[in-house]
Amino acid sequence: MRLTKGELRKIQSPLVEFIGYALDLEGMITLSVTLGEASTRTIVLVNFLVIKIPNTYNIIFGRPVQAVHRAVVFVLYFKMKFPTPSGIGVVKRDQRVARECYTTSLKMKRVLPIELLVVQDERKGRGKPVDELEKV
């Protein structure tokens, strides 16, 4: 799309839920999104969060986009349906392409930051042997 970093709006909060740990955001950009074909096409402005991580996906439509479009997603059929003034709009995807994308994402090397390691004292909270118990 040939967008520059200057076109991004700064966002201060990190993205946490995407891959399990906090990611710093590059910014946010508002883009026009066209869904559907021919007479059931709809166009809306969508805010996209831009992150800098290796990923096989270009764009992920989350619940906010689905809510704006009042869309229903059929994961099994790779379809999304949404109401338009002239009928029901449909977005279809290719299962083969989705499978390739998923397979590629599994092959990607993921390194978790060391801050995620939780060191717990195993002795804490464990019971004592009967010989070491005191009568009260």
Q: Give the mean pLDDT per block of 10 residues along the chain (136 residues).
A: 82 72 81 86 84 70 77 86 90 84 75 53 63 79
Q: Evaluate whether residue 22 is within a structural domain.
A: yes
Q: Evaluate whether residue 37 is within a structural domain.
A: yes
pTM across the whole model = 0.58
What total of structural domains would you count in the chain? 1
pLDDT at residue 45 in the model: 84
pLDDT at residue 36 in the model: 84
Q: Cα(78)–Cα(93) distance, rounded to whole angstroms?
A: 5
Q: Evaluate whether residue 115 is within a structural domain.
A: no
Q: Evaluate whether residue 136 is within a structural domain.
A: no
The label of the residue with tokens 């977005």 reads 91
Residue 81: C-alpha distances to residues 20, 36, 71, 77, 115 (Å): 29, 9, 5, 11, 41
CA angle 25, 31, 33 (to 5 degrees): 125
Q: Evaluate whether residue 80 is within a structural domain.
A: yes
Domain around 40: 5-110
